[in-house]
Structure 1
Amino acid sequence: MGSLQLVHLTYAGSGKPSAQIVFGPELTTIYGASDTGKTFIVRSVEYMLGGAKLTMVPEAEGYTQILLGLLLPDGSPLTLVRRPGTNSTHLHREDLRDLVHRPADTIVNSVHNARSKNSLSVHLMRAMGLDEVLIRKNEAGGTRSLTLTDLVHLSVVTEDRMIAMPSPVLRTGTATTRTAETSVMRFLLTGEGDPSVDTGPNAGQRRVNRGQINLLDQLVIDLSAKLESDETERELKDRLARVKTAIDAQSTALRAADEGHREAVRERMTHARRLAVLDERMAEVSDLLGRFSLLEDQYRSDLERLVMVNEAGSILGYFRVGTCVFCGADPEHQHPGHSQQEATQLHIAVQAEATKTTALLTDLLPTIADLAREQDENARTWQAVKEDLEALDELIAEAEGQLAPLREGLQELLDARSAVERGLELHVRIAELEDKRSRLHGEGAVPATRPAEYIAARVVNDFDSVLQRTLGSWEVPAVDNSGYDQYNAELRAGGRPRAGRGKGVRSVLHSAFTTSLARFCIERDLPHLGFVVLDSPVVTYRQPVKYIPEDPDVPDVRITSTVVDRFYEDMLAFPGQAVIIENGDPPLGVLSEATTYNFTAADGRPGFLP
Structure 2
Amino acid sequence: MSELQLTHLTYCGPNLPPAQIVFGPELTVIYGTSDTGKSFIVKSIEYMLGGADLAMVPEGDGYTQILLGLLMPDGSPLTLLRAPDSNSIFLYRADLRDLVMATPDASVTAVHNARSRNSLSIHLLRALGLDEVLIRKNEAGGTRPLALSDLLHLSLVTEKRMIGDVPPVLRTGTASTRTAELSVMRFLVTGEGDPAVDAGLNAGQRRVHKGQVQLLDQLVLDLSAKLVTQENERQLRDRLIRIRTALDEQSAPLRQVNESHREAVDSRMETARELAALDERLTEVSDLLGRFKLLEAQYRSDLERLAMVNEAGSILGYFKVGACPFCGAEREHQQANHRVEETTQLHIAVQAEAAKTTALLADLLPTIADLDGEQTALISRRVEAQSDIGVWDQIIADLEGGIAALRSNVEELVEERSVVERELELQTRIAELDDKKSRLVGEGAVVTTRPTQHIPTATVGAFDSILQQTLNAWQVPAADHAEYDQYYAEIRAGGRKRIERGKGMRSVLHSAFTTALARFCMDRDLHHLGFVVLDSPVVTFRDPEPDDIDDVELTSTVVDRFYKDMLSFPGQAIIMENGDPPTKVLSEAVTYHFTGTASGGRAGFFPASMR
Query: TM-score of the superposition, structure 1-length normalised?
Result: 0.57
Q: Within 5 Å, give how 1:442-481 maps onto structure 2.
A: 452-481=452-481
Is the Cα–Cα contact under 8 Å of residues 122 and 131 in structure 2 kept in the other structure? yes
CA deviation digits over 1:92-149, x for unaligned, max 9? 0000000101111000001212332100000000000000000000011110111111
SS at match of 1:16: coil
Which residue of structure 2 aligns with residue 61 of structure 1? 61
Which residue of structure 1 aligns with residue 426 of structure 2? none
User: What CA distance in whole angstroms lies between the structure 2 residues aligned with 1:43 and 1:124?
Assistant: 19
Is the Cα–Cα contact under 8 Å of residues 475 and 566 in structure 1 kept in the other structure? yes
- Structure 1 pair 449/123, CA: closer, same or farther in 2 (3 Å)? closer
Which residue of structure 2 aligns with residue 558 of structure 1? 553
Is the Cα–Cα contact under 8 Å of residues 141 and 450 in structure 2 kept in the other structure? no
CA deviation digits over 1:59-107, x for unaligned, max 9? 0000000000000000000000000100010000000000101111000
Which residue of structure 2 aligns with residue 384 of structure 1? none
User: What CA distance in whole angstroms lies between the structure 2 residues aligned with 1:35 and 1:64?
Assistant: 22
Which residue of structure 2 aligns with residue 151 of structure 1? 151
Which residue of structure 2 aligns with residue 40 of structure 1? 40
User: What CA distance in whole angstroms lies between the structure 2 residues aligned with 1:541 and 1:155?
Assistant: 25
Which residue of structure 2 aligns with residue 285 of structure 1? none
Which residue of structure 1 aligns with residue 77 of structure 2? 77
CA deviation digits over 1:177-198, x for unaligned, max 9? 0000000000000010000139
Over 2 Å off, 4+ runs: 447-451, 550-555
SS at match of 2:18: strand
Which residue of structure 2 aligns with residue 599 of structure 1? 594
CA deviation digits over 1:346-383, x for unaligned, max 9? xxxxxxxxxxxxxxxxxxxxxxxxxxxxxxxxxxxxxx
Aligned AA for 1:598? Answer: H
Which residue of structure 2 aligns with residue 124 of structure 1? 124
Is the Cα–Cα contact under 8 Å of residues 155 and 532 in structure 2 kept in the other structure? yes
- Structure 1 pair 542/3, CA: closer, same or farther in 2 (3 Å)? closer
Aligned AA for 2:168? Answer: P
User: What CA distance in whole angstroms lies between the structure 2 residues aligned with 1:580 and 1:448?
Assistant: 48
Aligned AA for 2:568? Answer: A
Is the Cα–Cα contact under 8 Å of residues 141 and 198 in structure 2 kept in the other structure? no
- Structure 1 pair 475/502, CA: closer, same or farther in 2 (3 Å)? same
Which residue of structure 2 aligns with residue 567 of structure 1? 562
SS at match of 2:117: coil
- Structure 1 pair 527/595, CA: closer, same or farther in 2 (3 Å)? same
Is the Cα–Cα contact under 8 Å of residues 162 and 511 in structure 2 kept in the other structure? yes
Is the Cα–Cα contact under 8 Å of residues 29 and 574 in structure 2 kept in the other structure? yes
Aligned AA for 2:572? Answer: Q
Aligned AA for 1:533? Answer: V
User: What CA distance in whole angstroms lies between the structure 2 residues aligned with 1:43 and 1:114?
Assistant: 24
Are 1:92 and 2:92 an aligned pair?
yes
Which residue of structure 1 aligns with residue 238 of structure 2? none
Which sections of structure 2, spanning at least 5 residues, go unmatched? 200-446
CA deviation digits over 1:417-473, x for unaligned, max 9? xxxxxxxxxxxxxxxxxxxxxxxxxxxxxx999972100000000000000000000
Are 1:608 and 2:602 an aligned pair?
no
Is the Cα–Cα contact under 8 Å of residues 504 and 555 in structure 1 kept in the other structure? no
Are 1:525 and 2:525 an aligned pair?
yes
Is the Cα–Cα contact under 8 Å of residues 500 and 552 in structure 1 kept in the other structure? no
Is the Cα–Cα contact under 8 Å of residues 80 and 91 in structure 1 kept in the other structure? yes
Q: Within 5 Å, give how 1:408-423 maps onto structure 2.
A: none
Which residue of structure 1 aligns with residue 482 of structure 2? 482
User: What CA distance in whole angstroms lies between the structure 1 residues aligned with 2:56 and 2:197?
Assistant: 44
Which residue of structure 2 aligns with residue 580 of structure 1? 575
User: What CA distance in whole angstroms lies between the structure 2 residues aligned with 1:15 and 1:465?
Assistant: 53
Is the Cα–Cα contact under 8 Å of residues 137 and 144 in structure 2 kept in the other structure? yes
Which sections of structure 1, spanning at least 5 residues, go unmatched? 200-446, 544-549
Is the Cα–Cα contact under 8 Å of residues 534 and 581 in structure 1 kept in the other structure? yes
- Structure 1 pair 501/113, CA: closer, same or farther in 2 (3 Å)? same
SS at match of 2:517: helix
SS at match of 1:79: strand
Which residue of structure 1 aligns with residue 176 of structure 2? 176
Is the Cα–Cα contact under 8 Å of residues 541 and 559 in structure 1 kept in the other structure? yes
User: What CA distance in whole angstroms lies between the structure 2 residues aligned with 1:116 and 1:83?
Assistant: 22
SS at match of 2:107: strand
Give 1:539 shift: 1.2
User: What CA distance in whole angstroms lies between the structure 2 residues aligned with 1:472 and 1:592?
Assistant: 24
Query: TM-score of the superposition, structure 2-length normalised?
Result: 0.57
Which residue of structure 1 aligns with residue 321 of structure 2? none
Aligned AA for 1:454? Answer: H
> RMSD in angstroms over aligned alpha carbons?
1.8
Is the Cα–Cα contact under 8 Å of residues 154 and 168 in structure 1 kept in the other structure? yes
Which residue of structure 2 aligns with residue 296 of structure 1? none
Is the Cα–Cα contact under 8 Å of residues 502 and 552 in structure 1 kept in the other structure? no
